Every structure is written in structure tokens, then in C-alpha cells.
């Protein structure tokens, strides 16, 4: 084949053979000015009823040559290796067959993703997230088209290349095929270890859900340099993923990414993400440098509303000037975030968008500034109940609130202690929906939240005052400092919350819907949240103006926010509910607030 290359491209020297696959061999070549890669693909057509004459055999070879060029014209663009030229060489036609070589001159990529991950292991969180983001964009561009949608049938790290500009590219063009034309004959063109179980076990046709499964495996490889349960064969690996879930041993891997990968690797294709738009929303949604007003995001921006910028506290933090200025490479590495956020005391001056990371579990908190608001539904929400009135003015001191619900991973990290488990007879994870570390912990009583809090305070050597939010604090934060937001973040409930109409009747990973203006997720829906207050139907007539709290022992406690099992009515940011403080159910979890130990505490 090197002789064919020299004959076709006489100015190039062949340096080495890069690889060999089903469709041909690839060589590294170079002339006086540039480096290139050359793929040599043998083409052969045998005589048949369809191609009886030498002329028909000759025409078929030419047709295939032009079809390859037309095919590339449809897939070329961002994320696909660039082809500089096509040549047809050494065409020979006999009575029995026609042969030729297709020569493809393309850009040279110094490494593939597999070598890149292994040679640079471990990749930083920033590098890993950037690669995931790039790959999802490429696959979305190819598959999310009404006309000429393509799918990558053999998605694996060795088929993904990294060029000299460090951009990720699909290098196996033969593995790309139109979605509507994938046939039974094409089913075998994949690698079992990187394929969805339904392709191997049930011989199903490749589609978007199977591609999402392969994407999840590639993402896991990016973080760990190996497949899940890599020492097992395909059958055992598939069973372990299905029955035991995934093992995430990296402490710097964000929970929302863990949850996304777990969802991609669901055994049932119907439980995977809908498409790559959903993947991109998850990857982008957690790291936007500007949180737009959710009223605008939900399609109903109110007059005079403003967008809120996220500022990472610390001397090295940078604040973009507009959403358009956000680039993929500006996604912040978790380790950098930790260093920046911890470089200042969390009790210095703050503004909306500031973030603080709790040192033991890595739980992220967002600043809720002090302010006055009208608590309860006014004429902007006409669905209020009797116990939500009268609307009244309340002043709230500033505090830090958990960006997410407390997750199963958070719970296990704090509560997994031999002595503690022996005393309290805890299981490692009390949740009913044990579907991954990024899912909210549930089936937790009000009393058990206090035990979690006490232990977290102890782990932090009493530096911080963690507690449940008061009911007034919860509503003030859910409504983005008291805005007229029917749901926590705006009016578009489906964009903001997991509830009975869209949850699949189960909890979902935290942070996968839109946040409110303060950057707080799931304050409407997913699971109800415990509040500090004892429930009183006439509480709003008894509230003090400053930081009101209704106290009481052994009473019912307030829960807020609605859950995966509730209707839209319970999702309202002013809706009040209550249960006994020893009550546990799979729709009830909690979220923390944090204040300075020097600040006067609520009388708990």
C-alpha cells in the first residue's frame, strides 16, 4: 500500500503505519510543508446479476468513489476529521471483478482519545468535562438533524482522535451511518465492550439510545481510564452495572456528572436520556457563568427583572461580562473552584451568585442576601390555601443555602461511621430510590436530619452553624429573594421541576432541571424538604417581622416544595404542608443552610 501512496502522492514521504481496520489502513505522511494522514481503502466489486458486464463493473467502482465524496460532504464539519482530497488509484477491471484503491488524504491527528487518557491519567476535572462536552456536541450535531441524521455505530476511545489544536474528532468515518438506513447487515459493525446490551443480547438495530449508552461508557473511561468492572467480560460487566450500579471513586467528580453517566448506562433504553440535547443541558446547566432570570428562561420575563452573575469567592475569581463570553474552555475545574472558594472566609461580604464549598463533603452553598419580602401568595398567585394567608412583610438576614438537595452520596459520606451506625442502627443509604449518588436522599425523618447536621458540624470542628432552613427562609430563597415566582424560578413548571407529570414517578438526579435566580436547584419538586418550623395553620398571623420561626416540640413540622409524586398545585413556592417529625417517606428529603457561629441562632 505504501507503493500506492507514493504513486498517488509523490511529494509525500510515508513515515509510519498508524493503524488498520475493517475499512483499510492509515499511514502518517509528510512533505516539506505539512503532515497528513492517508487512508488506503481497497474497493472490489464481483460480477453478479446486477453487474454482468465489464462496463457495469467499471461504473460501479466509479459510483462508489463518488458516493464516498458525497457522504463526506454530508458529515463534514465540527468534530469530524477534515479530508483534503480523494483519489481513485489502480483501477483494474476484468470479466469477473473490478478492483481499485480509494486514497483519502486527511488531517493528521497525533493521538487518539484512548492513548490521551491513559498517557495523561488522571485528567483534571476541567479536561474531563471539556472532552465530555465536546463529544456530546459532535454527536448531537450529527444525530439531531431532521434530514441526513447520522449515528456513530462504533463509538469508542480508539476511534476518537485529538488533533494538533487539541480538538476532539471522530476519526472512524466508516462507522458513521444514516439513522434511517441502518440495516441488519450493518449490525455487526461495532465493538461489544463499548456497545449497548440490547445490540449484543437482542441483536437490535443501533439507534440514539444505544449511542447514549456508548457515550456513557466513553465518559466513564475519560474519568477513570478504564471501563466499569474492566476485569469482567461483557456479560458479567453488563449484569454488574445493571444490578450494582457504577463505582465512582474520584472525589473531584461532580455528582451531576455521575448521575448523568448512570442514566446513560441504564439497562432499559427507555430510562436513558432522551437525546444529546438533554446531555448538553446537564453539562452546560451546572456551569453557566451567568444565571439568566428564570422568568425570562421560562418564557415570561417580568418588567424590570435582572440577570444574576455567579461570582466564585476568592482573590483569583473572574467574572464574565455576558453569557456570550462564556466558552467551553472557561468551565471551572472543581479543584480550582475549591481553592478559590476557600481562599476567603465564607462570612465576608457577599453578593448574589457567590458560592461556598463545604470542606468535608464538597456540598456547594449559594449566598442568599438579606432582604424584606411579602411572604405568602398575593394577587400574583390566586391558588393559595387558608394556611398561606395573610400575606405579610418579613425581613430575612442573609445566609448560605445548599445549591442542591442533600444527596445519597452526601448522606453516606457523613453517616457512614462504624460507631455511629452501631448506635443508631443506620443502613448506609436509607433511600427507597437507590439509583445513584446524585439522587436526593429520602426516607429521612426530621430528627434524623438533626443527627446528620450535628455530625457535619462536628466534622467541621464547630466552625460553621448548619441547620434546616426556617419556613420563611425557605420561601424567600425559593422565590429568588421574594420575587413573584409561582414556582421556584418562574412559571414554566416542566423546565423547573420534577413532579408527577414528568418524573416517571421516581426521584431524579439533583440539578437536572433549571435553577432559580439564586442558582438553587429543585426547590420545586423532586422531593419535599424539611423546614425548621413547627406547623401552625395560623402561623402567618403570629410571625414576627424579623426572621420569624414557629417553635414547638413533638409537633408536626413544615415541609415545602412538593415532590416527584405531587401535582402542579403542590409545586407552588408558597404551598405549605406538614407531617409528624418522625415521619419517613420516599418523597421527603432535606436541604441545609449555613450561618456564622457568631450569628444569633434560632431558638431550636
Task: Please tell me the number of Cα atoms within 13 Å of 221 on its side-chain side.
Answer: 24
Domains and CATH numbers, the chain: 2-107 (3.30.200.20), 111-285 (1.10.510.10), 290-303+322-596 (3.90.1580.10)
**Length reported for the chain:** 604
**Mean pLDDT, residues 433-458 taken together:** 93
**Mean pLDDT, residues 511-529 taken together:** 96
**Percent of the chain residues past pLDDT 90, beyond the cut:** 60
**Mean pLDDT, residues 512-517 taken together:** 95
pLDDT of residue 428 exceeding 80, the answer is: no
| pLDDT, tens digit (0-9, with 9 covering 90-100), for 321-365 | 333 332 323 333 343 343 344 434 565 568 888 899 998 888 999
- The pLDDT score that the predictor gives to residue 315 is 29
- The pLDDT score that the predictor gives to residue 208 is 93
**Mean pLDDT, residues 419-431 taken together:** 59
CA 456, CA 210: separation in Å to the nearest integer? Answer: 41
Q: Which helix (H) or strand (E) holds 336?
A: helix 334-342
Task: Say which DSSP state 479 is in.
Answer: T
- The pLDDT score that the predictor gives to residue 282 is 84
**Mean pLDDT, residues 219-240 taken together:** 93
pLDDT of residue 368 exceeding 60, the answer is: yes
Between 420 and 169, the more confident residue is 169
Three-class secondary structure of residue 135 per DSSP: helix
pLDDT band at 294; cut points 50, 70, 90 = very low
pTM (2 d.p.):
0.50
- The pLDDT score that the predictor gives to residue 176 is 63
**Looking at 126-277, which runs of residues are DSSP E strands?**
150-152, 160-162, 168-170, 176-178
| pLDDT, tens digit (0-9, with 9 covering 90-100), for 104-122 | 999 999 999 999 999 999 9
Between 309 and 438, the more confident residue is 438
| pLDDT, tens digit (0-9, with 9 covering 90-100), for 140-164 | 998 887 677 888 888 999 999 999 9
The 3-state secondary structure of 526-572, one letter per residue: CCEEEEEEECCCCHHHHCCCECCCCCCCCCEEEEECCCCCCCHHHHC
- On average, the pLDDT of the chain sits at 83
- The pLDDT score that the predictor gives to residue 418 is 43
Q: Which of 246-255, 456-465, 501-510 has the lowest mean pLDDT?
A: 246-255
**Mean pLDDT, residues 385-413 taken together:** 93
pLDDT band at 172; cut points 50, 70, 90 = confident
> What percent helix, strand, coil does the chain show, rounded to 5?
35, 20, 45
Amino acid at each position: 500500500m505504501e507503493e500506492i501512496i507514493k504513486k498517488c502522492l509523490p511529494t509525500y514521504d510515508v513515515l509510519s503505519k498508524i493503524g488498520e481496520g475493517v475499512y483499510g489502513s492509515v499511514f502518517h505522511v509528510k512533505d516539506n510543508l505539512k503532515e497528513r494522514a492517508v487512508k488506503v481503502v481497497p474497493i472490489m466489486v464481483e460480477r453478479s446479476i446486477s453487474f454482468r458486464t465489464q462496463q457495469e463493473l467499471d461504473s460501479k467502482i466509479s459510483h462508489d468513489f463518488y458516493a464516498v465524496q458525497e457522504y463526506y460532504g454530508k458529515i463534514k464539519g465540527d468534530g469530524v476529521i477534515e479530508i483534503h482530497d480523494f483519489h481513485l488509484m489502480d483501477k483494474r477491471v476484468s470479466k469477473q471483478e473490478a478492483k481499485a484503491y480509494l486514497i483519502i488524504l486527511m488531517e493528521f491527528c497525533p493521538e487518539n482519545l484512548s492513548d490521551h487518557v491513559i498517557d495523561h491519567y488522571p485528567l483534571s476535572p476541567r479536561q474531563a468535562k471539556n472532552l465530555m462536552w465536546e463529544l456530546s456536541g459532535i454527536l448531537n450535531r450529527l444525530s439531531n438533524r431532521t434530514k441526513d441524521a447520522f449515528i456513530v455505530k462504533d463509538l469508542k476511545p480508539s476511534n476518537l482522535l485529538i488533533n494538533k489544536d487539541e480538538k476532539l474528532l471522530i476519526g472512524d468515518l466508516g462507522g458513521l451511518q444514516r439513522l434511517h438506513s441502518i440495516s441488519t447487515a450493518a449490525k455487526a459493525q461495532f465493538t461489544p465492550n463499548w456497545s449497548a446490551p440490547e445490540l449484543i443480547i437482542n441483536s437490535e438495530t443501533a439507534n440514539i439510545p444505544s449511542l447514549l449508552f456508548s457515550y456513557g461508557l466513553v465518559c466513564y473511561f475519560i474519568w477513570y481510564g478504564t471501563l466499569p468492572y474492566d476485569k469482567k467480560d461483557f456479560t458479567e460487566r453488563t449484569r454488574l452495572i445493571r444490578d450494582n450500579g457504577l463505582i465512582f471513586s474520584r472525589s473531584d467528580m461532580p455528582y451531576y456528572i455521575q448521575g448523568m453517566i448512570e442514566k446513560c448506562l441504564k439497562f432499559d433504553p427507555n430510562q436513558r436520556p432522551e437525546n444529546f440535547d438533554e446531555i448538553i443541558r446537564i453539562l452546560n446547566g451546572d456551569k453557566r457563568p451567568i444565571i439568566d432570570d428564570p422568568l425570562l428562561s421560562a418564557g415570561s420575563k417580568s418588567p424590570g427583572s435582572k440577570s444574576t452573575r455567579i461570582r466564585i469567592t476568592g482573590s483569583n475569581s473572574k467574572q464574565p461580562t455576558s453569557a456570550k463570553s462564556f466558552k467551553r474552555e472557561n468551565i471551572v475545574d472543581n479543584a480550582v473552584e475549591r481553592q478559590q472558594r476557600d481562599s476567603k472566609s465564607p462570612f465576608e461580604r457577599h453578593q448574589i451568585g457567590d458560592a461556598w464549598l463545604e470542606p468535608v463533603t464538597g456540598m456547594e452553598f449559594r449566598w442568599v442576601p438579606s432582604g424584606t419580602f411579602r411572604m405568602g401568595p398575593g394577587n400574583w398567585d390566586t391558588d393559595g390555601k387558608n394556611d398561606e394567608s395573610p400575606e405579610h412583610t418579613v425581613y430575612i438576614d442573609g445566609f448560605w443555602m445548599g445549591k442542591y438537595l442533600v444527596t445519597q452520596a452526601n448522606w453516606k459520606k457523613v453517616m457512614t461511621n462504624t460507631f455511629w451506625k452501631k448506635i443508631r442502627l443506620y443502613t448506609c443509604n436509607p433511600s427507597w430510590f437507590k439509583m445513584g449518588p446524585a439522587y436526593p436522599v429520602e426516607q429521612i425523618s426530621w430528627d434524623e436530619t438533626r443527627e446528620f447536621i450535628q455530625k457535619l458540624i462536628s466534622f467541621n470542628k464547630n466552625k460553621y452553624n448548619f441547620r434546616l432552613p426556617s419556613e420563611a427562609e425557605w420561601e424567600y430563597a425559593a422565590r429568588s429573594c421574594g420575587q413573584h415566582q409561582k414556582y421556584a424560578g418562574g412559571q414554566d413548571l416542566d423546565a423547573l421541576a420534577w413532579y408527577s407529570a414528568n418524573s416517571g414517578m421516581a426521584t431524579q438526579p439533583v440539578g437536572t432541571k433549571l435553577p432559580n435566580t439564586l442558582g438553587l436547584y429543585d426547590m420545586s419538586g423532586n422531593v419535599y424538604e424539611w423546614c425548621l418550623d413547627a406547623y401552625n395553620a395560623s402561623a402567618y398571623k403570629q410571625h414576627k417581622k424579623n426572621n420569624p420561626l414557629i417553635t414547638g416540640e413533638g409537633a408536626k413540622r413544615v415541609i415545602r416544595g412538593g415532590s416527584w409524586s405531587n401535582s402542579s398545585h403542590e409545586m407552588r413556592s408558597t404551598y405549605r404542608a406538614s407531617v409528624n417529625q418522625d415521619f419517613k417517606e420516599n418523597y421527603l428529603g432535606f436541604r441545609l443552610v449555613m450561618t456564622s457561629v457568631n450569628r444569633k441562632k434560632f431558638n431550636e
